[in-house]
Structure 1
Amino acid sequence: MGCILDHIAVAAPTLEAGAAFVTETLGVSPQAGGEHPRMGTHNLLLRLGDRVYLEVIAANPAAPAPGRPRWFALDSLPGNAAPFLAAWVARAEDIRTWAEKSPEPLGPVEAMSRGTLEWLITIPEDGALPLGTGPALIQWQPGVHPASKLQDHGLNLIGLEIHHPDPKRVSRLLESLALEGPLSVKPLPEGAAPYLEAHIDTPRGVRVLRAAR
């Protein structure tokens, strides 16, 4: 089995700003998540399916600096930046094997935790996002997936579009990871900034979360 779309990440200068953005777009407020001690970040969560969720992530002002670049390129986010769909994460059963198959450098495999949850994840040493939009690879410790513990508001991720000026390069990466999930690649003009769009079915109809442009 290949890698599977696990979650999408909204980057924000503060959790409050990220929550307001998600609530305005989807009509549902994300619920409390927790803190990531090794990264100096914290998050909010929203279920998007049985084993899929949305994460709002921001630097934690109450935590000490991590002594290394934070993940999801959060250190490059200005304090007045608008929240945006920044990245996505794919689940793997053997993260190191799949990371080695990638034609793009995904970063070292790191051990992380949030409360009682523990996992392995790829993080570039400079905190950047592979190809500007992700993915990161994640391997959860055996047990219940985090999405199953979240309140079900009837939201479902029905499509994630990767808009990129080098679609062949992105497609090559997806193929190397044998990715499963509602993913598609859309071409952009040469030199254009890549971005993501998530199409999410809600009780009020399909809504679209977009990246900053």
Structure 2
Amino acid sequence: MLSLDHLALSAGTLEAGVAMVEDRLGVRLAPGGRHAAMGTHNRLLRLGPGFYLEVIAIDPEAPAPGRPRWFDLDRFAGPPRLTNWIARCDDLEAALARAPTGSGRPMDLARGDLRWRMAVPEDGRLPFDGLFPALIDWQGAAHPAGLLPETGCRLAALELHHPRAEALRLALRGLIDDPRIAVHQAPLPALRALIDTPSGRRALE
């Protein structure tokens, strides 16, 4: 069974993404780091025990990774927006066996003291226009949320809007059961998170 691990908000530059989130939520993001294997960098926000928000962008100082970046960042354009959600599992191969075709191949990754395995699609694009979750398996007890300062922010709801909503529901059925996640029929794919902050409920999309 999968569980919510974190949300990914993509941006053309890390600075633009951080500014948007801090303005929208009224809290400060914590430092993150660099991902050498993907040529990306991030900043983070704790959203509760074992759960966080990641603002991610291509690192202009990093060499190109020689393969498509995760979260389809090579094709990202426009203002910062929520693009992906990531689900945690204890057995990555078993989760992939039940996931739709194109959910990715396992990669061993690291940042500082953090170690994890993640399924990354060959073309960088996750199924259902990115609305099927990226699958992650943390190695060891260290997890980013446990290293982040408390902000008083919590995820209230995660809305998945897609023109093939019923097919997405079927793909998720039996894999994750979280009352905060809802799949909605919509003409265009979109991801929307409702977050309770010290200043009230805010939306990221």
Query: After superposition, where does 1:102-141 map in structure 2 within 5 Å?
Result: 102-132=99-129, 133-141=131-139
Q: Classify 1:179/1:113 alpha carbon distance in 2 versus 1 (closer, same or farther; 3 Å).
A: farther
Instruction: State the secondary structure of the residue aligned to 1:49.
Output: coil
Offset at residue 178 of structure 1 (A): 3.2
1:138 aligned counterpart, secondary structure: strand
Within 1, Cα distance between the matches of 2:150 and 2:201?
16
Task: Specify every segment of 5 or more residues in structure 1 that has no aligned partner in the other structure, as ranges.
Answer: none
1:201 lines up with 2:201 in the alignment: no
2:169 is matched with which residue? 171
Query: What does 1:1-213 align with in structure 2 at a 5 Å threshold?
Result: 2-78=1-77, 81-132=78-129, 133-180=131-178, 182-188=180-186, 192-210=187-205
SS at match of 1:98: helix
1:181 CA displacement: 5.5
**CA–CA distance in structure 1, aligned partners of residues 174 and 96 of structure 2:** 9
- Aligned pairs, number: 204
The alignment's TM-score, normalised by the length of structure 2, stands at 0.96
- Identity among equivalent positions (%) equals 47
Contact 2:2 2:176 in 1 (8 A): yes
- CA deviation after TM superposition for structure 1 residue 36, in Å: 0.4
Could you tell me how far apart the structure 2 residues matched to 1:92 and 1:15 are?
28
Structure 2 residue ranges without an equivalent (≥5): none
Instruction: Give TM-score scaled by structure 1 length.
Output: 0.92
**Partners of 2:118 and 2:135 within 8 A in 1:** yes
- Counterpart contact for 1:103–1:176, Cα < 8 Å: no
Q: Counterparts of 1:208 and 1:28 in 2: how far apart (Å)? A: 13
Q: Which amino acid aligns with 2:171?
A: L
RMSD: 1.2
